[in-house]
Amino acid sequence: MGLGWTQPPGLFHMRQIFSPSRIAAFISFHLCVVCLNAQTDLDFCGSDLVRLSAMQNPAWQQEQLQHEQQIYHFYKNKSAGASNKAMAVVTLPVVVHIIHDNGAENIPDAQVLAGIQQLNEAFANSAYYDQGSGTNTMIQFCLAKRAPDGQLSSGITRDQNPLTQMTIELDDISLKDINRWPPTEYINIWLVREICRLNNGCSVAGYAYFPSSHGSPEDGIVMESKFLGSSAGNTGVLAHEMGHYLGLYHTFEGGCQNDDCLTDGDRVCDTPPDQSTLWVPCDQVVNTCSTDAQSGLPADEPDMILNFMDYTDFYCFNDFTAGQSDRMRWHIENVRQSLLESKLRSVVHHSRDRFFYRFGDRC
C-alpha cells in the first residue's frame, strides 16, 4: 500500500479531478484501506502505518500532491519522447544508528558493511540479485565518511537505550531523537531489536517515510538489525524500505484498477496491477488482476512477486523495474536533491575572528 493520493493528470485538470468532495471521499477511502492493510499479520512493512499518520498533516498532504503532479508531467514528457539526460550513477550518504541494549541487536561493523554492499548490489541488479530480470537503477549508497561536524566517521553509531524494543505509534520520534544526523544531508537508518505496533504485535521488519517527509524529524528508515547483512535475502528488507524512502509504493497499491497506469496503482507503468499480499513460493506464478492491458502493458502479466516492492518471502526479492528506477531517480533529483550535495565544511583552526576551512566528501 502506498499513499492515499491518486496522481492527477496535471494542473490543467486539477479542478475537475480534485474537487473538494472527491478529495474528501478519496482520502477517506484510502485511510480505510491503509488501516485494513496495517492489520494483517503478513504486513512486515510498517510504512503504511507511518504514512497514515503523515496523512493527518494537511501540509504533508499538499506536499505529496504536488510531488505526484510533478512526476506525472515527468512521465508524460518522457513517454512523449522528451530527451533524457545520460544516466550517471548517483551515490547517497548513509548513516546507520545501532540502538541496542547490549543484546544481539548490537551487530558488528562487518555485518553493517555487508548489508550496505548487498543494498548496492540490489540496486545495481548484480551478484545474488541478478536472476534474469530487473534493472540497474544507477543508484548506490555509501556509509558516510564524515559526520555533520566534518570529523572522520565510519558512518556507524552506537547508542545503548531500551528503545531498541520500540512501538511505532509511541516511540518513532523518541527513538530518532537518540541520534539523528541532518536528514537533508544523510539517509538515517536506525537499527533496533524489535519493532511493534499497538494493535498488531511485533511482526514489523522495517518502515520508512516517503520523500514528502524530507528533512523532517521523522525522516529516515527504521528496521530490525537482524535483517541487515545477515543474508542477501534478509537485506531485501532494506532494499524494500529504501524504495519507499525514494518514493515507491507497494506493487499492490490500489488493487486492480488500471484506467491510467500513471494515476492508478503504484503509478509505475511497467509493474502490472496486483491485489494480493499473500506470500507464495518464489517460483509460483500468480496473477490476481486481469486489467494489465488497459494501460501500460500490452498483455496480461503475472504479479511481480520477485519485485522488491511486493510482499513475499525475503529470499524472493531480486529486482526493480525501469519505471521504478525512473520514479526513484526523479525523487532524488527533485525532492531529496540535498543528499547530492556531497561536500561538508569543517573548521580546521581559527585565529581570532578568522576561520580556516577544509572540505571533505560525505562519502
Q: Read off the pLDDT of residues 251-265 as tens digits, 9 standing for 90 and up.
A: 999 899 999 999 999
**pLDDT tens per residue across span 4-40:** 222 233 322 332 333 333 333 333 333 333 333 333 3
**pLDDT tens per residue across span 199-208:** 888 889 999 9
301 has catalytic annotation: no
Q: Cell 544507477 identifies what position?
A: 138
Contact 115, 238 (CB under 8 A): yes
| pLDDT above 70: percentage of residues in the chain | 78
Residue 227, amino acid: F
d(CA 128, CA 174): 36
pTM equals 0.84
pLDDT for residue 69 is more than 70: yes
Pairing mode, if any, of strands 187-192 and 201-204? unpaired
Please identify which of the residues 68, 241, 253, 341 carries the catalytic annotation.
Answer: 241
**DSSP class of residue 98?**
E
Read off the pLDDT band of 148 (50, 70, 90): very high
Contact 153, 146 (CB under 8 A): yes
Contact 305, 280 (CB under 8 A): yes
| pLDDT above 90: percentage of residues in the chain | 65
Distance of CA 13 to the CA centre of its chain: 29
DSSP three-state, residue 16: helix
**pLDDT for 79:** 65
**pLDDT for 279:** 81
Contact 129, 307 (CB under 8 A): no
**pLDDT tens per residue across span 278-289:** 888 899 999 999
Annotate 26-45 with DSSP letters as a single string. HHHHHHHHHHHHTT-TT--B
d(CA 190, CA 171): 12
24 CB-near residues (< 8 Å, 6+ apart): none
d(CA 253, CA 309): 10
Rg (CA), the chain: 20
d(CA 170, CA 312): 28
- Kindly list the structural domains of the chain, giving each domain's residue range(s) and its CATH number in brackets, ordered by start: 87-342+358-363 (3.40.390.10)
**pLDDT for 86:** 66
Lowest mean pLDDT among 73-82, 200-209, 304-313: 73-82
Read off the pLDDT band of 43 (50, 70, 90): low
d(CA 152, CA 77): 43
**pLDDT for 360:** 57
C-alpha cell at 53: 499518520
C-alpha cell at 59: 501540509
Read off the pLDDT band of 45 (50, 70, 90): confident
